[in-house]
Amino acid sequence: MNLIIGVVVIGIIIAGIAFFMASKSDSKNTTKEELQSTAKRESQSRTQEELQNTAKRESQSRIQGESQGTTQKESQNISIKEEASADMQAVKQKEQLYHYMTQELQNLVCVYNKEEWSQLKKLGEISQELYKEKNDIIEGLSTITGRMVKEYFTCVDFREEEGKIVGYVNDIEKLKQVFLQFMMPFYPYYYKELSEGGLRYTALLHPNTLRLFQQLTGKKFRPGYRNRYSTGVRAFEWDKDRYKVYGKDGRLLCDAVFDSDGIKEGYGQKKYLDKQHPDWDIVKEGTWKEGVFQSGILRYEYKKSVQ
């Protein structure tokens, strides 16, 4: 009996020990799993936080890059706009010089045709802007056209009057020489016939003058455009430096080569002032060679109309 009780007690003790050991093992496993789980969660948390930080840095970098790109693009756009604005301003100034020169030439032609040149004192107005920029514009022209405009301005004194800049002649004879450079070479010898025939002054502008206008406007101008009288007769034609000029009735006035002194070679009519008889002109009609009258007709023409 006692033996049986002892066996039972030993069994209970052994079972208790086994249960304790099992519990302890489970406790260790649970703790290990919890630690692994915690470590995993912390690792995931760190990984997620790193990803968020990386994404944030990339986003900031993109924003900064886009901001810099935008700033650079805006700067480029501003630079382009400034250049375009400067180009437009230069074009505007050239056009102002074109309008100024065409108006001045038209007025000078009227004065010359009316034979009132000696009375010429006052010229046209020039804008403040053009007055300041005219020298820079001239520097941008070709050698010949730039020289023509520069010589014109040397004959003009500008004065400020009531807020406007007005031109005055400072050398009447030099201005005449400069003015005639803008016109066809036969103009000073046949201006009366040409003007009385109703010819437009633009048809009488020298090819160099039209080149000047093209440089100022970018447009092409054709020499001798609309060079017909109101009668329909062609006023003139030319081949290189030889010109044929006709009266409004179709009569040939010249077929000659011109220089600064007039007819150099060929046929033509040329008038000279008779200083002893101021109401008369001496007319030489015939051929010239090297500027010297060779043969033809010499006559006097009365300058005043006969009543």
Q: Is the pLDDT of residue 32 over 60?
A: no
Question: Does any domain span residue 95?
Answer: yes
Please give the share of the chain, as a percent, with pLDDT higher than 90: 56
pLDDT digits (tens, 9 = 90+) for 89-121: 778 999 999 999 999 999 999 999 999 999 999
Question: Does any domain span residue 18?
Answer: no
Question: Does any domain span residue 218?
Answer: yes
First-to-final CA distance of the chain: 185
Q: How confident is the model at residue 58 (pLDDT cuts 50, 70, 90)?
A: confident
Question: Does any domain span residue 272?
Answer: no
pLDDT digits (tens, 9 = 90+) for 162-182: 889 999 999 999 999 999 999
What's residue 226's pLDDT? 87
Q: Is the pLDDT of residue 71 over 60?
A: yes
Question: Does any domain span residue 201?
Answer: yes
Structural domain of residue 123, as residue ranges? 89-260
pLDDT digits (tens, 9 = 90+) for 237-270: 999 899 999 999 999 999 999 987 889 999 999 8
pLDDT digits (tens, 9 = 90+) for 283-299: 999 999 998 999 999 99
Question: Does any domain span residue 42?
Answer: no
Question: Does any domain span residue 149?
Answer: yes
Q: Is the pLDDT of residue 9 over 80?
A: no
Per the structure, the count of domains in the chain is 1
Q: How confident is the model at residue 272 (pLDDT cuts 50, 70, 90)?
A: confident
Question: Does any domain span residue 173?
Answer: yes
